[in-house]
Amino acid sequence: MSVASDSLEPEQVRTMFDRIAPVYDQMNRLMTGGLDRRWRDATARRVVQPGDTVLDAACGTGDLALADLRAGAARVVGVDFSEQMLERAARKSSAIEWVQGDLCKLSFADGSFQAVTIGFGLRNVADREGALRELRRVLAPGGRLGILEITRVRGPLAPFFRIWFEGLVPLVGKLLPGGSAYAYLPASVRRFPAPRELAAQIAQAGFGDVRYRLLAGGIMALHVGVAR
Ligand SMILES: C[S@@+](CC[C@H](N)C(=O)[O-])C[C@H]1O[C@@H](n2cnc3c(N)ncnc32)[C@H](O)[C@@H]1O
């Protein structure tokens, strides 16, 4: 899950994730009661078809890339610019190609992938529109994009979400080494576009049939689109 403010420079984001890498997986389990694995599987199942070549952008410690593999991908490439996050990913699977790089400047040829997933990553990218265009570029026409992100809860659950997310999560983060960066999490969610607005940005980047669905009582949004 994401911790950065989108006002940070890419280099600051990279350094921050290098610092929190040792506690990242534990924090995910703690913050979600273990449900994060279910959301990643739902994302992968929605966009990956058996035999696909899949890119997991901003792969971090690799859990969504592993979900892509479970969903039947033949080949999965995980890209992230944080060396420490990637090092943890590499310990989890040697069946996935782990590549260090910036998702806004990918080294892959146009149309290299049938599906692209990105989980809790887009919120940390300052140039969101550029990132979406780059993900579109590496997808083959007809390829599928799946974006899993935390979103602002509206409605009756909103006060509970605020206590959990703006109070408890940063507090628990402070108790873990390197976890103080979790103080950035609520601000980054506040700055991220609402689901409908994000859907419009995805369409603008060259995707058709853009849809989204809210998960976990509206805490998460899963956006999908098809490369035109
Ligand atoms: C919150 S983690 C998400 C990790 C993983 N996708 C997951 O589901 O847990 C966000 C990741 O995005 C990476 N990241 C942020 N901006 C990036 C960029 N421009 N290029 C590559 N990786 C980036 C960070 O290094 C970090 O590992």
Q: pLDDT tens across 201-225, in order?
A: 999 999 999 999 999 888 899 999 9
CATH superfamily of the domain spanning 10-227: Vaccinia Virus protein VP39 (3.40.50.150)
Of 3, 11, 13, 70, the one to substitute when testing ligand 1's pocket (max ligand atoms within 8 A of C-beta) is 13
- What was the pLDDT predicted at 7? 66
Instruction: Please identify, by atom number, the ligand 1 atom nearest to the C-alpha of residue 125.
Output: 16
Give dist(CA 185, CA 56) in Å, integer. 21
Instruction: Please identify, by atom number, the ligand 1 atom nearest to the C-alpha of residue 148.
Output: 8
CA-to-CA separations, 118 to 3, 48, 164, in angstroms, rounded: 15, 12, 24
Of 14, 36, 105, 108, the one to substitute when testing ligand 1's pocket (max ligand atoms within 8 A of C-beta) is 14
pTM above 0.75, yes or no: yes
Neighbours of 129 (CB within 10 A): 12
Confidence class for position 188, pLDDT limits 50, 70, 90? confident
Centre of ligand 1 to C-alpha 88, Å, is 13
| Segments making up each domain of the chain, as ranges | 10-227
> Can you name the residues that pair with 75 across neighbouring β-strands?
53
pLDDT per position as a tens digit, 82-128: 999 999 999 999 999 999 999 999 999 999 999 999 999 999 999 99
pLDDT per position as a tens digit, 139-154: 999 999 999 999 988 8
C-alpha angle with apex 153: 223 to 131, nearest 5 degrees? 35
What's the residue count for the chain?
228
Q: How many helices (H) and strands (E) are present in the chain, helices listed first?
A: 9, 7
Instruction: Please identify, by atom number, the ligand 1 atom nearest to the C-alpha of residue 104.
Output: 19
Residues contacting ligand 1 via CB (< 6 Å)? 1-2, 10, 13-14, 17, 58-60, 63-64, 80-82, 85, 102-104, 119-121, 124-125
The bridge status of strand 97-100 relative to strand 75-80 is parallel
Q: Of residues 227 and 216, which shows the higher confidence score?
A: 227
Q: Which of 38-42, 75-79, 162-166 has the lowest mean pLDDT?
A: 162-166
C-beta of residue 124 within 8 angstroms of C-beta of residue 6: yes
- What was the pLDDT predicted at 1? 60
Per-residue pLDDT for 183 more than 90? no
Instruction: Please identify, by atom number, the ligand 1 atom nearest to the C-alpha of residue 40.
Output: 8
- What was the pLDDT predicted at 31? 84
C-beta of residue 221 within 8 angstroms of C-beta of residue 198: yes
- What was the pLDDT predicted at 149? 96
